[in-house]
Amino acid sequence: MPTPALAASPWVDPRPDGSPMPRPHAPTSAPLKVAMLIQRYHPLIGGAERQIRAVAEHLQSRGVQVSILTRRYAGLSAFETIGGVPVYRLPIPGPKVTASLSFTLAALPLLARLRPHVLHAHEVFSPATTAVAAKRMLGTPVVVTAHRSGPLGDFHRLQQKFMGGARLAAFRRAVDAFIPISQEIADEMDAAGISASQRCPIPNGVDAVHFAPLAGEAALALRQRLGLTGDPIAIFTGRLAAEKRVDQLISAWPAVRSALPGALLLILGTGELEASLKAAAGPGVHFAGPQEDVAPYLQAADLFVLPSTAEGLSVAMLEAMSTGLPALVTNVGGASDVITHAENGWLISPDAPEQLTQALLTLLGDPPLRARLGAQARLKIETTYALPVVVQQLEALYRRLANRPAQPAGAEV
């Protein structure tokens, strides 16, 4: 069933000579309009989805008109407004190739109707392909954010796909600005031939007002309301997927419980490994499932743990640090951009179970150390990664692109 916008809008073709339609510039007296394209969006919950929702709603509060274009998965409506932001869910029938083509073909007439001043694609797959196709039709500038690095990251995966090299070359020519959210992703962009002049580093951000520290009696009262009886409490939030290595965390927990019998491991999230992880879990491990708002659980905990083998710039880590939690994380993705070891967090090697166990014992057994690391973590978020700081950079990029002369879209992708 088509979205309301599609039902109200016929296809808008380029000019008869094939040239793009004249794109709108962002007038000073009218709102800047931005369309964001992402494969999944709320209520499907993940780090990127939470990040984009927070950014979109914050931009909206600043007077920027944001629209979300995403895929329509089973059980979700074709259109709704979430947090004041219109969300258009487009059909994706059939296998991957058909789904990607359907998404693009449904998005183009909708974008012709919305006439955004800037297109922002999240990931260098079908969102970026769709944004570049829309640029060819409408002349609209395109921003692309890569959200993950390493073997599971955007650029590695793109180059493994059919015609991946050609698609990357087309993106290099057509995309106006690439946003690396971490230094590791910036390095991968450099290796992929994306010049420094095309890169605009902007990290993920966190709502430091919502994700605020809670201590003392207030934190104890919150534990009671949440039904958490352990002490100390370590928390993991995220997808229960292989690269998160939650299995290693569960394997380490008997040694932690041997030294600290009351210790509780709190796991928030869901994913394909949920059943096997629950089967492997012993005493002192509690699965709380997916949560709409993880802030109360972070505020009630003592230590955040993320033993992943691959990340971009973990939103879960930023949220935990914002609540004043010390973060014990593997040194992958953007972790070292944010954390200085033993100063505002704790870094370990990926796939090093002995390091993980020892770090858990060290941090859970030393409350003064946790307090010092947590205070410095909060300070780092407030100065560099708070949402207003990040959104201001993003809006400045949008306005710069929206008001410059139109650029050619390059080759088809």
Q: What is the pLDDT of residues 104-150, one digit of tens each?
A: 999 999 999 999 999 999 988 889 999 999 999 999 999 999 988 88
User: Considering the domain 216-384, what is its CATH architecture?
Assistant: 3-Layer(aba) Sandwich (3.40)
pTM for the whole structure:
0.87
pLDDT of residue 125: 83
Instruction: Enumerate the domain spans of the chain.
Output: 4-205+389-402, 216-384
What pLDDT is recorded for position 215? Answer: 85
The pLDDT, as a whole number, for residue 123 is 87
pLDDT in tens, 240-284: 999 999 999 999 999 999 999 999 999 999 999 999 999 999 999
Q: Which residues of the chain have pLDDT under 70?
A: 1-29, 406-413
The pLDDT of residue 405 is: 73
Model pLDDT, residue 296: 98
- Predicted pLDDT at 257: 98
Q: What is the CATH number of domain 4-205+389-402?
A: 3.40.50.2000
Check if 4-205+389-402 and 216-384 are the same fold: yes
pLDDT of residue 353: 97
Give the model's pLDDT for residue 166: 87
Three-state secondary structure along the chain? Answer: CCCHHHHHCCCCCCCCCCCCCCCCCCCCCCCCEEEEECCCCCCCCCHHHHHHHHHHHHHHHCCCEEEEEEECCCCCCCEEEECCEEEEEECCCCCHHHHHHHHHHHHHHHHHHHCCCEEEEECCCHHHHHHHHHHHHHCCCEEEEECECHHHCHHHHHHHCCCHHHHHHHHHHHCCEEEECCHHHHHHHHHCCCCHHHECCCCCCECCCCCCCCCHHHHHHHHHHHCCCCCCEEEEECCCCHHHCHHHHHHHHHHHHHHCCCCEEEEECCCCCHHHHHHHCCCCEEEEECCCCCHHHHHHCCEEEECCCCCECCHHHHHHHHCCCCEEEECCCCHHHHCCECCCEEEECCCCHHHHHHHHHHHHCCHHHHHHHHHHHHHHHHHHHEHHHHHHHHHHHHHHHHCCCCCCCCCCC
